[in-house]
A and B are shown apart, each in its own frame.
Chain A
Amino acid sequence: MTHRIPTFHMSRRRLLAGSAALTVASLAGTSLFAQGAAQAGGDLVFLIDSLGPTWIPNNSSISSFQGHIWGHVTDKLVYVDGDGTATPWLAESWEQNETATEFTLKLKPGVTFSDGSPLDAAAVVANLDIWAAGRTEDGINPVGLFPKTYDHSEAVDPQTVKVVFKAPTLGFIPTLGYHGSILISPATIASPATEQADLGKTIASGPYVVDSWKEGDFVKLVRREDYNWGPAAVGHTGPAFLDSITYKLVAEQSLRVAAVQAGQADIAYNASPQELTSLRDEGFTTATPRYLGFVNGWAVNTQEAPLNDVKVRQALQVAIDRQEIIDTVYTPDWLLATSFMQGNVPGATDHGALLAYDASRAEALLDEAGWTKGADGLRVKDGVTLELVLHSNPYLTTSRAIDELIAQQLGRIGWRVVIRAYDVVTFGERVRFAGAGVPAYEVTRSFIDAGTVASILTDANKGENWFNLGESDPRINDLRDKIASAATHDVRTPLLDELQAYVLEQGYFIPRTQMVQRIYVQSPEVKDVVYNGVAYASYYRATKGSA
């Protein structure tokens, strides 16, 4: 663990830079220089809108904010890139049995945590156990999307881990590259929650270590010089190049961008989509990577009138002009939805034709369903006006604007839309999947493996029952069982394709657009940033300089 200056003062920056230069000079000839000194060095400042509630690794690893820090401080067993391809990282290789219930991981030798202890099979077992179960009585949650089918794991020898599941779990390997699956030292895992909450005490194996931090203020990371086990897929395995990365909280969106424009910081996180074009014109780099997961859209409550009528759901599916959403609310950086999964998910197939805007078809379907236009232009059936209640998703800032646009689009075909916008707490209390009075739940969720969909379709096996179908749709039940038990991708991919077509045809899921949840505005001096499968920016191999 490196301890330099415990507090954060930019006025000391020169002093720090000076002493760092002296240190580097006196270390001339070390491995760092062998890598090419021209690239090394530089301090990166990343302005972020929040630093999350807690630093307990299990409770914070999937946070949109803290995930950035964990990505630099920790390693994972598997690397998953922006296209969902899983490649070896600290697990050099893996094997599975025919039913995908047993996996054997071979670990890379010589990997150590920053306190010098080895990252061996025993350490991996400790991590798998805490991801699966957490320590809830101590306030340490399980990792939400870790496979619930986990049974146990054991260290066969120091480099070999055997993992056993109660049922086929094809998604296990990709899950190891998911942001929740960060490797922490067994000593930290064993420590109580109050100690795990102190980020400075957490020991991990990543290319950076925490130099200093202050809650709700900043986290400063410094390079670990003996790091030598980066993921081969990013094309670099040695120590990182940048000397330090500082994540500084600036809550005000316009200030984050203005600070980057003024040259006071290198990256502004979560800028407004509408600003991106003009920022690019000014010479700044912008990035809108997609994560792997569901698109932004509605899970329809099929028991709630009038969406309990398949014709009405099908009308809704084609009554939305999705291109207009991108043109009005977003920029061309956002992509049209082609399924209910993001286009980059392995197994996602293109069903864009089912989602094409067709207002006249929507009107015909509504006429067939008995919803006829009244004098005021609104559709009525049995004295009831056709109405859709929307609850804007508070986790997505553009949600409300999209709801308003869709309200106009539906209004044109005689469909009244009521928009309810709640804060995060009220939303969590009142708006649930398939909840009474919630005809459409707006989804924004990432996953790493398409097999996750099996757990949301129905209420079997504690399923989330997104569409309130229960077990009423035999075709869905059948596809769910087959997808969950598929042992190979060759078997599963056609099943997923069938499921996507069926869910969209039935109007169970109404996609809006593909999801971009992380927007980066970056100084042109920063080069070689890598975005992984969950759209976090990695500065592991990044460099900074005007060259």
Chain B
Amino acid sequence: MQGAYLNYAAKRLLQAVVVVLLTYVFTFVVVSILPGDPVTNVLRDPQNGFTEAEIAQIVAAQGLDKPIPVQLWNSLSGFLTGDLGVSLRSSRPVSDMIAEVLPSTLRLAGAAIAVALVLAMAIAYGARFLPHRYGGAALRALPSLFLSVPSFVIGLLLIHIFGFQLGLFMVIDPDSFWATFFAAVALGIPISAQIAEVLMANLDHEASQDYADVARARGLRQSRLFFRHLLKPSSLPVVTVIALMVGEVLGNTLITETVFGRTGVGSLIQRSVVTQDLPVLQAIVSLAALVFVVINLIADLIYPLLDPRVKLVGAAPRRVTTADELSGKVSA
């Protein structure tokens, strides 16, 4: 069985490498076929007063006029040897630029997922157990509301209320605790909605199972029933949702970071897209692909811990994913 796991892990790893490489090439091709390049775009700013002939000369001096396959080969060979290259826009090493912005984004994304989880659990708990007159049913509508309000609207509202009106944080200091907290709330709210919906559906399903009736018959308190018995089986699909959410969190940081004036991976992507800064874009997109693949791999590995049935290869009738990939190898 261990051999099968290693085999499985190697296969997944290879997949991850292929995904990352394809992402790299795809990004390069897409950006390359767009008109313009970062150097030309900057030079064309009318304030510079360069003629088209002068611009062409400068671009040629930097090798940007070479055929696309040659440029791709140069860039790919650098990437494979661990050299992320130099930004075409800022002329700084790409690795430095990413290292500079990564901590801020990790803090924000981590905080947002934490906020989303707490919020989702609160909504699901409330929707399940709060009596109608205290808004238990209304809570079920909350995820739809959360999903339909764009996160930048939530962000601007939070800034105006808690930043400008209540003075809880300064716009010019976006890395402070409260600024990070409210940015995480803005980012976490739409994510919490999706988690809450999955969690509510599963709670409803689990709560109607015999074991829940038995637990209730034993006189368990609601909170104990929720946390000790219902939450764990209900959170199995939630893990999948969170793993998929990571991509969305990364995408949404772009908006949230811009609104809150934070400098992170999102704002770096935004600046790089606008200026067609290929080396930076490729590095970030490959990194994002890597993170996405790794997170999903971790999610797969957490499954057996949450649901003992996943371990019983071939015997589990309600296995959701991945174990089917395992089963072939294991039975052999």
Contact among B36, B62, B91 for A136, CB-based, below 8 A: B62
Q: Collect the chain B residues with CB atoms within 8 Å of residue A141's CB.
A: 43, 58
Q: Collect the chain B residues with CB atoms within 8 Å of residue A4's CB.
A: none
Cβ-defined contact, B41 with A424, below 8 A: yes
Q: Which of A213-221, A346-354, A362-370 contacts B (4 or more CB under 8 A)?
A: A213-221
Cβ-defined contact, A425 with B36, below 8 A: yes
Report the separation of the CA atoms of residues A198 and B172 in the bound assembly, to the nearest whole angstrom: 22
Report the separation of the CA atoms of residues A56 and B87 in the bound assembly, to the nearest whole angstrom: 12
Cβ-defined contact, A55 with B90, below 8 A: yes
Cβ-defined contact, A395 with B45, below 8 A: yes
Cβ-defined contact, B261 with A53, below 8 A: no
Binary contact track A435-457/B, C-beta < 8 Å → 1, others 0: 00000000111110000100000
B11 to chain A, nearest CB (A): 39
The tally of residues in B whose CB lies under 8 Å from a CB in A reads: 54
Interface centre among B35, B46, B275 (most CB of A within 10 A): B46
Closest to B176 in A: A11
Contact among A45, A134, A255, A444 for B46, CB-based, below 8 A: A444
Contact among B40, B47, B160 for A428, CB-based, below 8 A: B40
User: Is A265 positioned at the interface, with any CB of B under 8 Å from its CB?
Assistant: yes
User: Is A262 positioned at the interface, with any CB of B under 8 Å from its CB?
Assistant: yes
Cβ-defined contact, B258 with A425, below 8 A: no
User: Is B86 positioned at the interface, with any CB of A under 8 Å from its CB?
Assistant: yes
The tally of residues in A whose CB lies under 8 Å from a CB in B reads: 60
Report the separation of the CA atoms of residues A217 and B224 in the bound assembly, to the nearest whole angstrom: 47
Cβ-defined contact, B35 with A194, below 8 A: no
Q: Collect the chain A residues with CB atoms within 8 Å of residue B49's CB.
A: 144-145, 445, 447, 452
User: Is A197 positioned at the interface, with any CB of B under 8 Å from its CB?
Assistant: yes
Contact among B53, B159, B275 for A255, CB-based, below 8 A: B159
Among residues 365 to 401 in chain A, which have CB atoms less than 8 Å away from a CB atom of chain B? Answer: 395
User: Is B214 positioned at the interface, with any CB of A under 8 Å from its CB?
Assistant: no
User: Is B48 positioned at the interface, with any CB of A under 8 Å from its CB?
Assistant: yes
Question: How many Cβ-Cβ contacts under 8 Å join chain A to chain B?
Answer: 144
User: Is B235 positioned at the interface, with any CB of A under 8 Å from its CB?
Assistant: no
Q: Which of A222-230, A244-252, A302-310, A494-502 contacts B (4 or more CB under 8 A)?
A: A244-252
User: Is A64 positioned at the interface, with any CB of B under 8 Å from its CB?
Assistant: yes
Q: Collect the chain B residues with CB atoms within 8 Å of residue A249's CB.
A: 261, 263
User: Is B148 positioned at the interface, with any CB of A under 8 Å from its CB?
Assistant: no
Among residues 157 to 193 in chain B, which have CB atoms less than 8 Å away from a CB atom of chain A? Answer: 159-160, 163-164, 167, 170-173, 175-176
User: Is A259 positioned at the interface, with any CB of B under 8 Å from its CB?
Assistant: yes
Cβ-defined contact, B261 with A251, below 8 A: yes
Q: Collect the chain B residues with CB atoms within 8 Å of residue A217's CB.
A: 263
Q: Collect the chain A residues with CB atoms within 8 Å of residue B52's CB.
A: 432
Report the separation of the CA atoms of residues A109 and B142 in the bound assembly, to the nearest whole angstrom: 71
Residues of B within 8 A of A (CB): 34-36, 38-54, 57-58, 61-62, 86-87, 89-93, 97, 100, 156, 159-160, 163-164, 167, 170-173, 175-176, 258-259, 261, 263, 267-268, 271, 275-276
A sample of 24 cross-chain residue pairs with beta-carbon separation below 8 angstroms, ordered by A number, consists of A9-B173, A10-B176, A54-B87, A54-B90, A62-B48, A63-B45, A137-B62, A144-B49, A194-B93, A197-B91, A216-B263, A216-B271, A217-B263, A218-B172, A250-B172, A252-B261, A259-B164, A261-B164, A264-B164, A395-B45, A428-B40, A428-B44, A462-B51, A462-B54
